[in-house]
Structure 1
Amino acid sequence: MPAKGSVRVAVTASRPEKKKARIANGKPLSATKSAVRRGPTTPSKASSKPKLIKPKSDNWSAEAIAASSAPHPCKSFVIVAGSYEKLLYGLEGSFPEPSEPSTSTAPVPTLKPIFIFPAHVGSVRAIATSPDGGKWLATGSTDEMIKVWNLKRRKEVGNLVQHEGSITYLGFPTRSTLVSASEDGNLALFRVRGWELLRSLKGHTGRVNCVAVHPSGKVALSVGKDRTLRMWDLIRGKGVASVKLGKEGELVRWNAGGTMFAVQAGKEVDLYSTDMKLLSTISHPSRIHDVRFCKTVDGTGEVLLVTAEDKKVSIYRLSGEEGKATIVAELVGHTNRVKSVDTIQVSMPAASGSSSTTTYAVTASSDGFINLYDLSAIPKSASDPPTPPFQINPITSYNTKGTRLTCVAFAEGEVAADIADLAINGKRKRDDDEDGDVSEEEEEDEEEQEFGGFEGEKDDEEEKT
């Protein structure tokens, strides 16, 4: 019994509310530190064996692929790279004015730094840029936050607080949607308009390592620590199949045509058809960090870019539907492991007023260099691959002076003039706008007014390396 005059206080533990995606007003990208908002810090650790099947909807038809967003040649581009040191690098690539008389030498773009910014309180592990103009940038970190940036205005829009673990994957399957994955075992699908959480996809029993959205934009594959490959119907927002791989898939990628996908684990890359038939296995000599499908510049075939501990990017040419892979070239020039690679189609100006199209590859390495390569140098012959493989040097580089880079992505700059579907009478049309056209400036103003504030604690704890 309490003493006279004392007060008994009853303490009841309340169940925390279910977490929802939140986004906070941001600050402009700059070279100076800004206040960092901190999300939740406690990660949560979260099958049958059906055959991988196709959803009932026609996700795999040629019409669906043709209707999906294909890469377009652009006149300029932006490179964004993240690092263990929590820094975000932004480089603008542009071509010099063509000179007279014209020469057969392709013009070399210049890389100009446009921002260097401490984006997160943890290392940056995932980067994604939106297609058809490259307006949006999303970055994910070990601090469990997804940050959204407006690349056109070079401004931070805010934070998406949805996951309770490090962000492992980000991707824009279309201009209007963002997909994320995390160590908490969940995937999330956001609508760009208002940054609304559309679906939280649960099925993995451990960390999700990577997601690959089919070129049709309707289905996705994911791999994770639970050693399963899972398939998701993005239209209905649910899982439709899963397969036990027997090993932990670290990366999964679709090819451009949506007819084949790759699953990487350790030093191996397995190539599968859409009916889950194993076509071939690539056994690489060293630990792999990234893989990327890419069409050849001449359009005659497809290659697979493989970055690894061997300080280079190996280029495998894929032949036929059987997916036979033969190494034909190497992107060289780094002095440490290559962590990430991305590709983009560009339209190079000529003195005559015409232009030619090529494909660039950008790489990010632990040596601190961002290298740019012209993939038109890949040998054309598929029947007689060179031995040793043909070596391709970078056409230009950017030195971050020792920053350990983790990921890199291209964003479109000035889009080629022949892409008329991106603008109508000077106004950008939103994919999800049912009321008509809205100018890009009006759309951005509306979005910024809709965002609510969120205050969190700043965490200065350094990441263990």
Structure 2
Amino acid sequence: MGALSKTAERPNKKARIAPEKAPKASKSRAKASPSSKSAALAKPAPTREQERLPSSKAKGKAKAKTTDEPEPLPTSFKVVAGSYEKLLYGLEGTVSSDPESSRTTFTLKPIFIFPAHVSCIKAVAASPHGGKWLASGSSDEIIKVWDLRRRKEIGGLMHHEGSITQLDFPSRSHLLSASEDGTLCLFRSRDWVVLRALRGHKGRVNSVAAHPSGKVALSVGKDRTLRMWDLMRGKGRASTKLPKEGEVVRWSMDGKLFIVQSGSTIDVYTLEMSLIHTITHPSRVHDVRFCKRVNGEGEVLLVGAEDKLLSVYAVSTDPDVRPTMVAKMTGHANRVKSFQTLSIALPDGTPTTVVCTVSSDGRLNAYNLGELPAASASTIVELEPAGTYDSKGTRFTCVTVADGDVEVAKLLVSKRKRTEEHLESGEESEDKEDDEDGEEWAPIANTQEGVSEGEEEEEEEEGEEEMESD
């Protein structure tokens, strides 16, 4: 079923245990006296003034809403990278300012290095907003789950029958995976039950991207098809053929654009499936990702490629404004295989974004995106790494970035305050660690199969609708 397992198979457990019913009152219990009944019946009706007043529960709910504040940014971060050599590297990143150059620097200190799989590690992902869970996928067809705070293995998810190609946490309580077996799986992190098993690709799934809303996802594969999935219902919504095999698909951070990368070409689409830009990079591309600007408004497109650089493009939603390269992040001696970003806070409280890249040269570089100027200059800006870790020859394949340990204490304090506010208002606390992200995705029937073959044939006969906005 995709249940979490370690070395031996364990019996399947129910996802939830129904609470025990309250014991019935004993027959020998004394009945209420007639006087008490009449007293209850004679309770005066509330006046109009009392009816207009909000209840204490409503007051508490309003108080909880007004006192909710956005979670503070982490002041440190963790970087986890996988490699061809089956090794998993964990680094702790701290932020400091150099008084001489007045430049922000990142110190990367290794906290663990060990063989995590029996084959090449192809994907890693860390849960957001606290970074408790770490998932790693390999050519051994197993997704291993780790408790990043305690630094121990939780178990393995053995639902796929092919190499794991990508892992992503759409929220802190759900994990989305893609595999060469042509399927995608959505797991719930509370009990690691498979909520959705999505079938439709004919061949390897190369990449998957969940919309910022968490309700739909896009995927591309070897079959040269772009598919949209309804994650809430667990079935395909639409599909369209691509001229080339899509290797990477990514949403913009505001969810208004998405890109499909193939070779050295990056196509930018709107929600209406309208192609507005085509970027031809000078060399083969390996990873692409949108990122919000630290200085100025809008987003930039980061591109890691064979040219040993992480290039930064300014991309507009206006089809008449062509994308332009505004910066290059240097420092690698070989191809940039993968990268990831995370918003953090500097020592003085200023927000910025750290960009961590890994390469086949064995280096892991950390850049400060705050060094990118707000206005695009006539010349391309070169950004040097603010921190570097050299593994001495390990060929990195994938990387993820999570919140540091320093922020965990702040998150727990903030969480405790919200829980106390709910309890004071007479409500049950809704701030459960694994269920606080939007709507609950309950398991659907026959999750092992997802959409049945018969349903797939009916959808193909009827013809799938064109890609539309969610």
TM-score by length of 1: 0.74
Contact 1:71 1:345 in 2 (8 A): no
- Cα deviation for residue 74 of structure 1 reads 1.2
- 5+ residue gaps, structure 1, are 1-19, 26-35, 39-69, 442-465
Match of 1:423 among 403, 412, 415: 415
- Cα deviation for residue 346 of structure 1 reads 1.1
Contact 1:428 1:438 in 2 (8 A): no
**How far apart in 2 are the matches of 1:152 and 1:363?**
23
Contact 1:279 1:324 in 2 (8 A): no
Secondary structure of the corresponding residue to residue 370 of structure 2: helix
The structure with the largest alpha-carbon Rg is 2
For the pair 1:280 / 2:277, whether they are aligned, the reply is yes
Match of 1:238 among 235, 239, 256: 235
- Cα deviation for residue 107 of structure 1 reads 3.7
Task: Give deviations 1:39-77, integer Å, cap 9, x for gaps.
Answer: xxxxxxxxxxxxxxxxxxxxxxxxxxxxxxx99621110
For the pair 1:338 / 2:336, whether they are aligned, the reply is yes
Name the counterpart of 2:378. 385
Question: Residues 331 and 107 from structure 1, CA distance in 2 versus in 1: closer, same or farther, beyond 3 angstroms?
Answer: closer
- Cα deviation for residue 375 of structure 1 reads 1.0
Match of 2:403 among 394, 403, 412: 412
Question: Residues 110 and 307 from structure 1, CA distance in 2 versus in 1: closer, same or farther, beyond 3 angstroms?
Answer: same
Name the counterpart of 1:373. 367
Task: Give deviations 1:194-233, integer Å, cap 9, x for gaps.
Answer: 1111110000011000001000010000000000000001
Contact 1:72 1:132 in 2 (8 A): no
- Cα deviation for residue 426 of structure 1 reads 8.8
- Cα deviation for residue 360 of structure 1 reads 1.1
Secondary structure of the corresponding residue to residue 372 of structure 1: strand
Contact 1:427 1:440 in 2 (8 A): no
Question: Residues 220 and 338 from structure 1, CA distance in 2 versus in 1: closer, same or farther, beyond 3 angstroms?
Answer: same
**How far apart in 2 are the matches of 1:138 and 1:409?**
10
Name the counterpart of 1:89. 89
Question: Residues 104 and 398 from structure 1, CA distance in 2 versus in 1: closer, same or farther, beyond 3 angstroms?
Answer: closer
Question: Residues 220 and 71 from structure 1, CA distance in 2 versus in 1: closer, same or farther, beyond 3 angstroms?
Answer: farther
- Cα deviation for residue 417 of structure 1 reads 8.7
**How far apart in 2 are the matches of 1:401 and 1:280?**
40
User: Partner amino acid for 1:92?
Assistant: E
Question: Residues 392 and 71 from structure 1, CA distance in 2 versus in 1: closer, same or farther, beyond 3 angstroms?
Answer: farther
Contact 1:428 1:440 in 2 (8 A): no
**How far apart in 2 are the matches of 1:418 and 1:298?**
26
**How far apart in 2 are the matches of 1:164 and 1:260?**
32
**How far apart in 1 are the matches of 2:167 and 2:255?**
19
Name the counterpart of 2:393. 402
Question: Residues 199 and 283 from structure 1, CA distance in 2 versus in 1: closer, same or farther, beyond 3 angstroms?
Answer: same
Task: Give deviations 1:140-188, integer Å, cap 9, x for gaps.
Answer: 0000000000001001100001000000011110111110010000000
For the pair 1:22 / 2:17, whether they are aligned, the reply is no
- 5+ residue gaps, structure 2, are 10-69, 422-426, 435-470
- Cα deviation for residue 424 of structure 1 reads 2.2
Task: Give deviations 1:347-405, integer Å, cap 9, x for gaps.
Answer: 1113xxxx2111111100000000011112223223x431xx21111011001110000
**How far apart in 1 are the matches of 2:365 and 2:265?**
25
For the pair 1:357 / 2:351, whether they are aligned, the reply is yes
Of all paired residues, the percent bearing the same amino acid is: 54
Q: How does 1:141-160 map to 2 (within 5 A)?
A: 141-160=138-157
For the pair 1:112 / 2:93, whether they are aligned, the reply is no
User: Partner amino acid for 1:385?
Assistant: S
Name the counterpart of 1:227. 224
- Cα deviation for residue 95 of structure 1 reads 3.0
- Cα deviation for residue 345 of structure 1 reads 1.0
**How far apart in 2 are the matches of 1:71 and 1:425?**
12
For the pair 1:74 / 2:65, whether they are aligned, the reply is no
User: Partner amino acid for 1:370?
Assistant: L
User: Partner amino acid for 1:423?
Assistant: K
Question: Residues 123 and 309 from structure 1, CA distance in 2 versus in 1: closer, same or farther, beyond 3 angstroms?
Answer: same
Secondary structure of the corresponding residue to residue 207 of structure 2: strand
**How far apart in 2 are the matches of 1:428 and 1:440?**
15
**How far apart in 1 are the matches of 2:183 and 2:428?**
33
Task: Write out the 4+ residue segments of structure 1 that deviate beyond 4 Å after TM superposition.
Answer: 416-422, 426-429, 437-441
Contact 1:327 1:385 in 2 (8 A): no
Contact 1:211 1:223 in 2 (8 A): yes
Contact 1:427 1:439 in 2 (8 A): no
User: Partner amino acid for 1:410?
Assistant: V
Question: Residues 201 and 405 from structure 1, CA distance in 2 versus in 1: closer, same or farther, beyond 3 angstroms?
Answer: same
**How far apart in 2 are the matches of 1:317 and 1:22?**
43
Match of 1:168 among 165, 170, 175: 165
Moved more, 296-305 or 188-197: 296-305
- Cα deviation for residue 37 of structure 1 reads 8.5
Match of 1:327 among 320, 325, 334: 325
**How far apart in 1 are the matches of 2:226 and 2:311?**
25
Task: Note the aligned Cα RMSD (angstroms).
Answer: 2.7
Secondary structure of the corresponding residue to residue 349 of structure 1: coil
Contact 1:72 1:345 in 2 (8 A): no
Name the counterpart of 2:128. 131
Secondary structure of the corresponding residue to residue 346 of structure 2: strand
Contact 1:316 1:329 in 2 (8 A): yes
**How far apart in 2 are the matches of 1:424 and 1:256?**
29
Question: Residues 107 and 379 from structure 1, CA distance in 2 versus in 1: closer, same or farther, beyond 3 angstroms?
Answer: closer
Task: Give deviations 1:90-146, integer Å, cap 9, x for gaps.
Answer: 0001235x79xx788244232111100100011110111101100000000000000
Greater helix share, structure number? 2
Match of 1:180 among 164, 177, 181: 177
